[in-house]
Structure 1
């Protein structure tokens, strides 16, 4: 009996399994980095919105000489206010979906002498573990003219004006 030599084409099962294993290892390494990139990107988009609101509040101060809610001036800066809470100016372009992921708030403090702007991630968009461990909350303090990004516990401490705040870092 003679066997004819056939040219084999294609991959063996072992070669295919090795390739799949390599791709799986690369994906396991790349996926957490990609997710972290997405979180940082959203935080940076939130920071842009906060900066737009800083500009709006400074224009308001230029008109009213205070950060208190005054009906005579509020319409001139395209916002509304109730008590010591101002409505944040949000992006109008269709490309920005940051409002799907963050809630923004502006609060007048120190009897109208300053303000704080916060960007708080929406809890339905992030897991409780992510909110507890990642620095996704953003605070802007007009007194110190500084941004801080915080974990959920750090954000809660900063809202209570705690003497020591852990879980936040100044940007």
Structure 2
């Protein structure tokens, strides 16, 4: 009687276990690139949101300083940092031709990001100071985030 119970209570065979692991490996290899793209899009969306906050702070600065812009992120109210501001993936700064007073009349607000942590900041976004009504634009579309996606985010 005890011998029958042991035969009926068998576990998985090595073949069944290997097939299961192969299926899990295939599913993971299909899902991983989609997950990485999803994470990159969310990081880019956060960068665009931060650019919009810096842009709004520049608009306030512009209104309070006789039509001039700040040359430093740290001078804007509500913003931390000095000349630039850095989070986990992006560095934000104002690229401007300054006259030494800290006030500028032209330039861009730029964000450069390293999404894959290879040390190369290949994801670049910017908005011009003259076109504060404009949306940030992606200067490196090779990273997989298109202008049409950005338009759907902010339209």
TM over 0.5: yes
Tell me which residue corresponds to 1:94: none
Structure 2 counterparts to residues 23-102 of structure 1, below 5 A:
23-69=24-70, 77=77, 87-88=83-84, 99-102=87-90
Aligned pair 1:125/2:114, yes or no? no
Matched residue SS, 1:146: coil
Query: RMSD between aligned alpha carbons?
Result: 3.7
- 1:138 paired with 2:107, answer no
Return closer, same or farther for 1:76/1:107 CA change in 2, 3 Å cut-off. Answer: closer
State the alpha-carbon separation in 1 of the partners of residues 61 and 46 from structure 2: 23
CA contact (8 A) 1:103 1:122 kept: no
Q: 1:141 to 1:75 in 2, by over 3 A?
A: closer
Contact preservation (8 Å) 1:104, 1:118: yes
Deviation at residue 18 of structure 1 after TM alignment: 0.8
Do 2:94 and 2:108's aligned partners in 1 also have CA atoms closer than 8 Å? yes
Normalising to structure 1: TM-score of the pair?
0.61
**1:11 to partner: Cα distance:** 0.9
Separation (CA, whole Å) in 2 of partners of 1:19 and 1:100: 37
Contact in 1 for aligned 2:47/2:90 (Cα 8 Å): yes
State the partner residue of 1:15. Answer: 16
Q: What's the CA shift for 1:114?
A: 4.2
* C-alpha distance in structure 2 between counterparts of 1:101 and 1:11, whole Å: 45
- Residues 79, 101 of structure 1: CA spacing in aligned structure 2 closer, same or farther, 3 A cutoff? closer
Q: Work out whether 1:150 is the aligned partner of 2:139.
A: yes
Contact 1:79 1:87 in 2 (8 A): no
Question: What are the Cα deviations for residues 16-65 of structure 1, in whole angstroms up to 9, with x where unaligned?
Answer: 11110100000000111111111111111111111110111000011112
Spell out, residue by residue over 1:123-145, the C-alpha distance to the aligned partner (whole angstroms, 9 max, x if none): 892365x93xxxx3211234441
